[in-house]
Amino acid sequence: MDARTLGTAPHALPVSALGLGCMGLTNGFGPATERAAGIAFLRDAVERGVAFFDTAEVYGPRTNEELVGEALEPVREHVVLATKFGFAFDDDGRQVGVSSRPDDIRRAVEGSLRRLRTDVVDLLYQHRVDPDVPIEDVAGTVGELVAEGKVRHLGLSEAGPTTIRRAHATHPVTALQSEYSLFWREPEQSVLPVLDELGIGFVPFSPLGRGLLTGAVGADASFGENDIRATLPRFAPDALAANLALVERVRSVASRLEATPGQVALAWLLAQRPTIVPIPGTRRTSRLEENLAAAGLRLDEDALAELTAASDEVVIVGERYPEAMAAMIDRS
């Protein structure tokens, strides 16, 4: 697979053009994958060219890092590991808010290093901005961890333009992670211009609209209690039926190109900027193969314009998060 670079020298991080979002292996989209199967899947992803893996302390919680760490330990020198801190947990391990206090960051990193079976985290994201801790303190603490050799690069997740600028002025930010797809293009308004200006890479999660843009989710789809989509307004029955209009427009382009809707959606993202590295998540080898083929799909100007126009014209129904989750997103 082709390589891309997040950030700029001397803080550049080379990665594969497509990464793998690992959350769904343990939570968010139904029961956790059986451990041996998950390990085999992750090692197969490496064999197929994936060299950028995204996990987080909160996934599981903590069990996702353990799975990723065990699977990738034999090939650690050939892959880039990204993980995240920033959530607080109670004594039973349940997530109970956010915390990016310096001591909590250090505790989180020590735990991540142990679970990931590594001496250094390649890319460390603040998972959610903590309104009670100045971002300068957060970036400064990660900068200290970089100096100590425990972290290589600082990243932010779901951070707004002002926060990005303040963090970057304290310690260089290599990558910003946020949702971005034909279904959700808000980052184009204020975030992407700042990233372009500062030389920061962009890592879109949910680049396939949490499965919608694969074309595999129908209007009659139902989601189990362990599936995050059961709580998302965009997937409520009436909203889902309306939102499939965009999928049909994508499907039309895909049919003409003899590709799948998911491949076209990923290729559209890759074409937006050379500094964009999507991290679609899956636990199925067939879907992994399909996604990776998108890295070799080149869309001509007509196809790109048609897809962008479809995204502009179809009104997406339903917010991407329920109110409580939306309140944790930084817009400053």
Q: What three-state secondary structure class fits 103? A: helix
Q: What is the pLDDT of residues 78-119, one digit of tens each?
A: 999 999 999 998 887 888 889 999 999 999 999 999 999 999
The predicted model gives 181-200 an average pLDDT of: 97
Radius of gyration of the chain (CA): 19
Partner residues linked to 15 by β-bridges: 4
Beta strands in 40-120 (DSSP E): 52-54, 80-85, 87-89, 95-98
Dist CA 143 CA 172 (whole Å): 9
**Confidence tier at 33 by pLDDT (50, 70, 90):** very high
Active-site position among 59, 125, 180, 321? 59
Dist CA 2 CA 78 (whole Å): 15
* Domain residue ranges of the chain, discontinuous segments joined by +: 3-208+269-297
Q: What is the pLDDT of residues 216-266, one digit of tens each?
A: 999 999 898 889 999 999 999 999 999 999 999 999 999 999 999 999 999
Dist CA 313 CA 200 (whole Å): 30
| 3-208+269-297 is classed CATH 3.40.50.300 | no
- Distance, C-alpha 57 to centroid of its chain: 14
* Angle CA 196–169–149, to nearest 5: 100
Structure tokens at 308: 């962008």
**The pLDDT value given to residue 212:** 95
Q: What is the pTM of this model?
A: 0.96
180 as an active site residue: the answer is no
Dist CA 269 CA 276 (whole Å): 7
Across the chain, mean pLDDT equals 96
Give the H or E element holding residue 179: strand 173-179
Helices (H) and strands (E) in the chain, counts: 11, 11
